[in-house]
Structure 1
Amino acid sequence: MTLWSEPSIASLLAAAERALATGDVNRALRQVHDFVEDVITEPLCTASVFASKRLDAFCQRVGQHSLRHGQVTPADQWPARGARPLVVYVLTRLQKSGGHSRVVEDFIHAQPDKDHLILATGLAGTSDPAFLERVASGGGNVRFIAAPRADLKSRLSWLQGALLGAGAEHVYLFNHHQDSVAAAAIVPSMGLDASFYHHADHHLCLGVHLAHLRHIDPHPMGYHNCRDRLGVGNVHIPLTFEDRGARDEGRPFASGGVITTATAARSNKIEIPYYTSYLDVIPRVLKATGGRHLHIGRLSPWALRRLRAGMRREGVPEDRLIYKAWLPSIWQALQSHDVDVYLASFPYGGAITLIEAMGAGVPVVMHRHMYSPVLSCLELAYPEAFSWRDPDALIAHLEELTPARLAAEGRLARLRYERFHRPDILEACLEGGAILPGEVPAPVATGLCEDDEWGCWALNRISIRHVVARGAYRTARALRAWLS
């Protein structure tokens, strides 16, 4: 006899199947959405649980049911297709801080001879108006339409109607992890030429196993993980970024004999339970370098207090931390602040920011995640980049850096950007409507932690404090989506 019964994926799917059998599409989609939301807000699942064939297959059954029994928006209610080819992007929401939003913008700029339609389900809140203005400002060939504020069944019917009525040359699926509406929308019988863009890459994400969609991975870590671990037939289209100029060769590194460091990441990449904390490491970095640290990305008030308290303990003046909640260009900020070394964020690495740093000609230092190659991002950096797991090793490395070595690594960083991440590389991949795979860097051995180290870390997560923090985090996410 047990005191309680543990839920299983089988019981969840059985309940969702019963809802679908009775025609309650909204409940069926909501159950999948809520389950994925719970998984992605559990740190122990991060970069351990990536995909579910069963959930994807169920979403497809819901989509087929909706297509057969739903009331999709008639095609004649959608604008007639123009003379130019149309590309459609299905996403959950556009936000100025979201990497996938930037990729959509890049895809649009790489195909100027086509019309572009962005369809948002809104399951994670409304899209950012300022970002939409920026996307649309590139020309008159971009249109954005958001799903009506309604239940999930109605949003699915709306989305399927939009896709059938649009007459697109190609459809790209850019959904958030938990967006069951997007994962259900494109079924094989619709006959759409479509791709799944796997940007939600280090959590459980719906859509990974939709075999009728071309699976695109935007970085080598995800490509190798999906192909080798998940058994997904995929292609790699590298992340690209507008070239905003290399570092001035005449500008010296380590000016004044001190090193300026920088990191760009929001709280969702830094304020995560982990064996070592960015908030504790940066004060030690500042003490060791004698320079400044530029942080770009919004942190919580609690995190800023902890960061500054650590600086006081280390005897570091408060003005040596330059905190910017948001800047329009990380690339230009690194150059204007004379940054000598970019410290990749941890425990979650950031791909786009790393590419900006290398494009700007700034040496990078990587973190080897204790259990996840995907979160380490090592394959994105130039092979000679230093990587660390023990904070003492990071401090020792920074203390040993010389202007000559920094200059050499700055050139390596820029060469890495030019080889893999220039905008014309994306244009070549998308040329003529074809999707041509780009060059894939080889996997890098990360040297994962020992099992006992992982076990010790995991035990520290199983606590009342962790349960309370996780509950507060889930509540905050739900409230944010509801308010927006």
Structure 2
Amino acid sequence: MEFEYRRPDVEQALLSAKDVASLEAALTATAGLKADLDDPAIRGHQMFSPGLDAAIPTVARRLDLHDVPLTKTNDRICIVATRLYEFGGHSKVASDIAAIVGPGDTTVVYTDIDRELRHQNLLNLRRTPADNRHRADLLLGANTLVGKILELYNLMAAVRPGRIFLLTHHFDMVALIALWPFRSVVEYLHHADHLPTLGATLPWSAHADLTWGCHTTCQRAGLNPTYVGLTVTPTALTTPSTTGGKTPDRLRIATCGHSAKYRGAGTYRWLDFAVAALQRPGAEIVHFGDAEDAFQREIRQGLAEAGVDPAAYVFAGLTPGLAEDLRAREVDVYLSSYPVSGGKAIVEAMSAGLPPIVPLDPDCPPLLRFDFPTDIWVEVSRPQDINGAIDAALAKRAAMAGAGDPIAAEVERFNAYVRTPPAATPPAAR
């Protein structure tokens, strides 16, 4: 299988576990595989884990988790996550689902396999404004992974959801085993588009790809996926103008992402692209996202060494709504993070009428290459080409303004998917 990730030792441990103690050890080993996600030979090169996936039905059967056939409907919707964060694309998908179907009709269950959450988190969620409050937020409390599987299975058997959105971390075996018997209503949201993740090769009721590159990869793998895209809040959509806030003596460039997306191996450094962009007369860069102090110092020092005023690079902090901030700050050009591009942020920029510039190495790992079904973005591979890419992005922006809003249909794709449950694929025999 193309882009296959294998760990035969852990696969065998799961399949050969004959008692609760050995199964707990195998599940713990599976959760520990997250250390592999930083391996350059894996990141961007491997996605599917058929060997580990094959153990999921076997373990569910050994735990006597009997199938619970359900009819798919938008009643009693559940989102099952390992944990969610205040910011970040993966967590934003969960909040988008709740916003579309209504928070009061949504139950969120956290498996918390790394035991990072506390019940204080649930109290904080209960204190959110009533209009934003979920029907329930549930934190699995068992102190073992096997216990969490049984707890989640029993919870779903009691709730009998009409639809379960599976939105977990890469190696959350707890959720996958517990939810396998409910696969007639489980929808696998494939958000790990450049890293190994459990469950992608199994026949859930739907396999929904959130990015175009992931979708074409899953299509080639014969997984019968549906492309649902990503969305932004409806108020973020805007009719692009030809000039935005641009004036002859100012060019405002924005980028967005955690500092981790701007570090790491690449042909160049993010700093090289930033310096090239800031050579443009009147240019400034506004960086949204969680930027650690050490990263900020690196950028400022690097700019100074390159003869660029560090004040031209502004760290704007976290943003709950990138598209709105891009409009509010009258941004002219959006430059994606490098060496790791940000899919959700790119869609937000598009929705604000900004054709993004996406730096990509010619030898970029295949799963890290950004792709999109419409031609409203600009690829650049060298810092010295950034000036021409800015011109191309401004020209595309003018074309977008004359053609209405070409991104609106893409944004609506996800909304329609959530509002209308896709037909279920017949569950596989066990």
TM-score, reference length from structure 2? 0.85
Structure 1 distance, partners of 2:327, 2:139, is 37
Per-residue CA deviations over 1:194-241 (Å, capped at 9, x if unaligned) read: 11111122100011112244211112111101111x331211112111
Identity of aligned residues (%): 21
Kindly indicate whether residue 230 of structure 2 is the aligned counterpart of residue 239 of structure 1. Answer: yes
Aligned CA distance change for structure 1 residues 290 and 164 (closer, same or farther; 3 Å) = same
Offset of 1:410 from its aligned partner? 5.2
Offset of 1:191 from its aligned partner? 6.3
Say which is worse superposed, 129-138 or 299-308, in terms of deviation: 129-138
Aligned CA distance change for structure 1 residues 49 and 140 (closer, same or farther; 3 Å) = closer
Structure 2 distance, partners of 1:130, 1:250, is 47
Say which is worse superposed, 321-330 or 168-177, in terms of deviation: 321-330
Offset of 1:247 from its aligned partner? 5.7
Give the structure, 1 or 2, with the largest relative contact order (CA under 8 Å, sep 6 or more).
2
User: Higher helix share goes to which structure?
Assistant: 1
Which secondary structure does the structure 1 equivalent of 2:354 belong to? coil
Kindly indicate whether residue 29 of structure 2 is the aligned counterpart of residue 39 of structure 1. Answer: no
Q: Give the counterpart of 1:367 among 336, 359, 382.
A: 359
Q: Return 5+ residue gaps in structure 2 as ranges.
A: 1-5, 67-72, 426-430
Kindly indicate whether residue 89 of structure 2 is the aligned counterpart of residue 99 of structure 1. Answer: yes
Aligned CA distance change for structure 1 residues 92 and 262 (closer, same or farther; 3 Å) = same
Correspondence for 1:60: 57
Structure 2 distance, partners of 1:92, 1:273, is 28
1:216-295 correspondence runs (5 A): 216-228=208-220, 230-243=221-234, 244-246=236-238, 249=241, 252-295=244-287
Correspondence for 1:26: 24
Q: Give the counterpart of 2:136 among 123, 134, 143.
A: 143
Per-residue CA deviations over 1:232-262 (Å, capped at 9, x if unaligned) read: 1211112111132426748655313332111
Q: Give the counterpart of 1:162 among 144, 147, 155.
A: 155
Q: Pairwise CA RMSD of aligned residues?
A: 3.1
Residues 358, 416 of structure 1: 8 Å contact kept: no
Structure 1 distance, partners of 2:250, 2:159, is 57
Correspondence for 2:428: none
Residues 301, 310 of structure 2: 8 Å contact kept: no
Aligned CA distance change for structure 1 residues 97 and 11 (closer, same or farther; 3 Å) = same
Offset of 1:122 from its aligned partner? 0.8
Correspondence for 2:288: 296
Aligned CA distance change for structure 1 residues 306 and 417 (closer, same or farther; 3 Å) = same
Per-residue CA deviations over 1:421-477 (Å, capped at 9, x if unaligned) read: 03xx4343244544599xxxxxxxxxxxxxxxxxxxxxxxxxxxxxxxxxxxxxxxx
Kindly indicate whether residue 80 of structure 2 is the aligned counterpart of residue 90 of structure 1. Answer: yes
Q: Return 5+ residue gaps in structure 1 as ranges.
A: 1-7, 70-82, 438-484
Which secondary structure does the structure 2 equivalent of 1:67 belong to? coil
Q: How many residues align?
A: 409
Offset of 1:363 from its aligned partner? 3.0
Correspondence for 1:394: 386
Say which is worse superposed, 107-116 or 152-161, in terms of deviation: 107-116
Offset of 1:316 from its aligned partner? 1.8
Structure 1 distance, partners of 2:288, 2:403, is 20
Structure 1 distance, partners of 2:289, 2:371, is 21
Offset of 1:117 from its aligned partner? 1.1
Which secondary structure does the structure 1 equivalent of 2:79 belong to? strand
Correspondence for 1:76: none
Structure 2 distance, partners of 1:122, 1:342, is 35
Say which is worse superposed, 239-248 or 262-271, in terms of deviation: 239-248
Which secondary structure does the structure 2 equivalent of 1:61 belong to? helix
Residues 247, 362 of structure 1: 8 Å contact kept: no
Residues 239, 405 of structure 2: 8 Å contact kept: no
Which secondary structure does the structure 2 equivalent of 1:262 belong to? strand
Offset of 1:409 from its aligned partner? 4.8
Residues 358, 410 of structure 1: 8 Å contact kept: no
